[in-house]
Chains A and B, each alone.
Chain A
Amino acid sequence: MISEANYITATFIDNERKTIEVLLRNDDGTKVHPYILEYNPKHPICKELLKVCSLDELHENTWSKKKEEVKLFEDSVIRIAEKTGQFKKIVESRLKLNEKSKAEEFFNALFDFLLTDKKEHIDRLFNFKLHLFEQDVIKKSKNEKVKSNIRKSKTPIDAFKEFVKIWEESN
């Protein structure tokens, strides 16, 4: 079913990293169709997938895809904001803020993000994890267990706590 001949790419499609979407070519190679499966190394179809795409590659593909999606989303927001004149307004209003209020705003937003369980923060958790993994301290770290804990963390503060462990190890 899944082979090197029809395999294109595969990514996790949920935060829990339990569900995989595999893109496959059809028999004559003219169409691409998705195939969704549970990550279960004992399942025969998952075994087929893991022969052509390792778990590490799956994580890397997922990271790249999410990064691209986030970039596309941010670009679209900026385009809309520019088109409607809101971008200019936002920039001007930001410039008018004095340093103190900017700092307060920043600290409030940071504490709100880390210390509350608001749904919108949980929705941003994946992007936050991506951001953590882009830090040099994480990239260079060999502590796979803590990295795995970051991947599995359910809240921003949990992810940040694990990040701090690696940061402390590096200092």
Chain B
Amino acid sequence: MAVRVPLYLSGTDLQEMSSIQVNQLVDQIVYQYSTDPTVVLSVVGSSGNLDAITDTRLQAGAHSTSATAFPSEATTAEPSTVTVTYDKLTSTTTNVSPTADTGKTWPIYYTAGGDIRPMSLDDVKDTFLHPAIDLLSAATSTSQQAGTYTIHTATTLAGATEVSGANTPIFTDTRADTTAYTAGAIPETLDQPITITNYYLFRINGSDTSYTPPMFVRGDNDLQVMPDATFEALAKEWIRHTAAQSADGYAISYSMGVSGSGNTRGSGIANTVLTGSGNYQIFQAGADDYRAQEFPDGSTSTAATYYLRINKS
């Protein structure tokens, strides 16, 4: 098995493709994958099969009261942490059975001795399929990663489609809204969050790029330009199969978490929190009604940053 140089028809001559032409074929294979991916992420309400991620925020401590004096800071409950779990990503892999290699299925190439020979399936993997998976699993989010996924902080992203279809965030970073707590309103509602950032899942759109069709050997052993429909159907079956079931380390998978294997995709997902130890406040509501409560406070800190990762294995 090896990387081969496919032949194409130039006028009436057979010619070896340039690397640009081979790359155009690989781009077309990526596009074919994007039309019906076999490793699909979806946004679900709960219990997704990718790892859950958590948003944490401070909430006020319970208020204290006394009929004689303001409860001291030491005896007033500290702010506590509210944790919201987001488990909204599910990955589904579809297995496919592609067309078997007949020995004349794939494009032809010149051997070192100058003979014309059809590429083997292993040649096709090395020349087209594995380079296509390398592109699909890269760290960028362009049309060369079409059919794979990325994270963004707005509901629209050029060149990509929001997956839920309803602008459903897969994660919402919240913090306590310190402006919502006032001493005069003690007992304040404990949990008064404000949304900092919503994160959305996007699928990258494909681009149907032009390419030069390769030559292949017909059943009657004549050479022919491979019809676009034939090349595209074969490419689609096999890239879908490779992404889902490659036994050569080129199957695509996704993970969500602080760390992991593979390339990160799109924006990281930050869980930001306030780090204060409590803003002690008092309020005398009546002659013998002394109240105290500790509100969330402090400066902003990032408790964790999660990433969507794409991996090939």
Where the two chains meet, the residues of A that have a C-beta atom closer than 8 Å to any C-beta of B are 1, 13-15, 19, 21, 26-27, 31, 33-38, 43-45, 66, 69-70, 73, 76-77, 80, 83-84, 120, 123, 127
A45 touches B140 (CB 8 A): yes
Distance in angstroms from B190 CB to nearest chain A CB is 18
B297 touches A44 (CB 8 A): no
Distance in angstroms from B309 CB to nearest chain A CB is 11
Where the two chains meet, the residues of B that have a C-beta atom closer than 8 Å to any C-beta of A are 138-141, 152-154, 156, 158, 178, 183, 197, 264, 266-270, 272, 275, 277, 279, 281-282, 297-302, 305, 307
B264 touches A73 (CB 8 A): no
Distance in angstroms from B266 CB to nearest chain A CB is 8
A31 touches B154 (CB 8 A): yes
The complex places the Cα of A13 from the Cα of B227 at a distance, in Å, of 53
Most buried by B among A26, A33, A70: A33
Distance in angstroms from A101 CB to nearest chain B CB is 20
Return chain A residues, CB-CB under 8 Å to B138. Answer: 44
Distance in angstroms from B278 CB to nearest chain A CB is 10
The complex places the Cα of A34 from the Cα of B277 at a distance, in Å, of 28
Q: A1-B141, A19-B268 are in contact. Are A38 and B307 (CB under 8 A)?
A: yes
A36 touches B305 (CB 8 A): yes
B281 touches A13 (CB 8 A): no
Most buried by A among B156, B183, B299: B299
* In the complex, number of A-B residue pairs with CB atoms less than 8 Å apart: 70
Return chain A residues, CB-CB under 8 Å to B140. Answer: 1, 44-45
Distance in angstroms from A51 CB to nearest chain B CB is 14
Q: Which residue of A lies closest to B269 (CB)?
A: A36
A123 touches B154 (CB 8 A): no
B305 touches A19 (CB 8 A): yes
B178 touches A76 (CB 8 A): yes
Return chain A residues, CB-CB under 8 Å to B153. Answer: 33-35
Return chain A residues, CB-CB under 8 Å to B266. Answer: 35
Return chain B residues, CB-CB under 8 Å to A80. Answer: 183, 279, 281
Distance in angstroms from B295 CB to nearest chain A CB is 9
Distance in angstroms from A65 CB to nearest chain B CB is 10
A45 in complex: contacting residue of B139, B154, B178, B272, CB < 8 Å: B139
The A contact surface, by secondary structure, is mixed
The complex places the Cα of A1 from the Cα of B204 at a distance, in Å, of 13
Pick 14 A–B contacts, CB within 8 A, sort by A: A13-B272, A19-B268, A26-B154, A33-B153, A35-B153, A35-B267, A36-B267, A37-B267, A37-B268, A38-B268, A66-B299, A73-B298, A76-B178, A77-B297
A35-B267, A83-B183 known, 11 other contacts, Cβ within 8 Å: A14-B301, A19-B268, A31-B154, A33-B153, A35-B266, A37-B267, A44-B138, A66-B299, A73-B297, A73-B299, A77-B279
Return chain B residues, CB-CB under 8 Å to A13. Answer: 270, 272, 302, 305
A19 touches B302 (CB 8 A): yes
Distance in angstroms from A88 CB to nearest chain B CB is 14
Q: Which residue of B lies closest to A27 (CB)?
A: B158
Most buried by A among B140, B298, B305: B305
Q: Which residue of A lies closest to B274 (CB)?
A: A73
A84 touches B301 (CB 8 A): no
The complex places the Cα of A120 from the Cα of B272 at a distance, in Å, of 17
B139 touches A33 (CB 8 A): no
Return chain B residues, CB-CB under 8 Å to A73. Answer: 297-299
Distance in angstroms from A5 CB to nearest chain B CB is 13
Return chain B residues, CB-CB under 8 Å to A70. Answer: 299
The complex places the Cα of A77 from the Cα of B268 at a distance, in Å, of 32
B275 in complex: contacting residue of A36, A76, A123, CB < 8 Å: A123
Q: Which residue of B lies closest to A48 (CB)?
A: B140
Return chain B residues, CB-CB under 8 Å to A77. Answer: 279, 297
Return chain A residues, CB-CB under 8 Å to B302. Answer: 13-14, 19
Return chain B residues, CB-CB under 8 Å to A1. Answer: 140-141
